[in-house]
Amino acid sequence: ILAEIGCANVPVYQPPKLAIISTGDELVQATTTPQAGQIRNSNGPLLQALATSFGAEAQSLGIGLDNFETLSDLVATGLESDILILSGGVSAGVKDLVPAVLERHGVEQVFHKLKLKPGKPLWFGVLSSADRQTMVFGLPGNPVSSLVCFLLFVAPVIFRMRGKTSECLHETTACLTADFQQRGDRPTYFPAQLTERNGNRYVTPLAWKGSADQRTLSEANALAFFKAGNQLYPNGEEISVFKIPS
């Protein structure tokens, strides 16, 4: 068709290369039976699947232990990509080494921590060189926080790198199926179930127990958005809802 209309050259976009490092001494591979104090690395496969679904060439670099030199070696490899995601290690604990490791490699911090729930510890920086610019995201280690931060911040970058101008997240509105009490000073993206009946959309916030509540996340197909502040949202009120990619 392009030849027929006399178009011999067209601009194309290369899928961005994205690397993922899951950090923490407590992590083991999915095929390993966790011992006391250990958990399986679920964020790595989650982030890799999400990045692939948005059109990136995603590669997991495995688990980065809470050791400065070991983690630094993995980060050096990850910085050869267009986007580097590190999961965990960005809070304020003694073993949260990610910011210091990135500083060693010359990554310029743009911001660290947001008024956002879940996802407050989010870290973002940029490494610029003569031939490449790498976007670096330090996502919180808890799975719900990691998902929310990916959808709000990483996915749009992937879309722009692919030359897309459309929004990567589908925002819609829906009516609450029950009263909802919002508390706190941060805007909240709350795991929810979005349904449609007779041409109308309805949203039901789930019994979410916090950022580590992966079971509730597995039951959600949307994120219900509530503004910061103490406010009662009555049954039937229309609110903003973001669909979670299936």
Break the chain into its structural domains and give their ranges.
17-161, 171-243
Res 57: pLDDT = 98
pLDDT at residue 238, as a whole number: 98
CB 36 within 8 A of CB 76: no
| Per-residue pLDDT, 10 | 86
* Closest C-alpha among 154, 142, 136 to residue 82: 136
In the numeric block, the tokens 């679920």 are attached to 42
Task: Give the chain's length.
Answer: 246
**Which pLDDT value is given to residue 201?**
98
Check if the beta carbon of residue 185 is closer than 8 Å to that of residue 115. yes
pTM of the predicted model as reported, rounded to 2 decimal places: 0.93
Q: What is the CATH number of domain 17-161?
A: 3.40.980.10
Per-residue pLDDT of the chain (246 residues; tens, 9 = 90+): 888 899 988 888 899 999 999 999 999 999 999 999 999 999 999 999 999 999 999 999 999 999 999 999 999 999 999 999 999 988 877 778 999 999 999 999 999 999 999 999 999 999 998 888 999 999 999 999 999 999 999 999 999 999 987 788 889 999 999 999 999 999 999 999 999 999 999 999 999 999 989 999 999 999 999 999 999 999 999 999 999 988
Query: What burial letters (b/e) apply to 188-219, b meaning 16+ CB within 10 Å?
Result: bbbbbbbeeeeeeebbbbbebeebebeebbee
Residue 165's pLDDT is 79
d(Cα 149, Cα 232) in Å, to the nearest integer?
25
Task: Kindly tell me the burial class for residue 129, based on how many C-beta atoms sit within 10 Å of its own C-beta (0-12, 13-18, 19 or more).
Answer: exposed
CATH 2.40.340.10 fits 171-243, yes or no: yes
Buried b (16+ CB within 10 A) or exposed e, 227-246: eeeeeebeeeeebebbebee
What is d(CA 220, CA 190) in angstroms, rounded to the nearest whole number?
A: 9
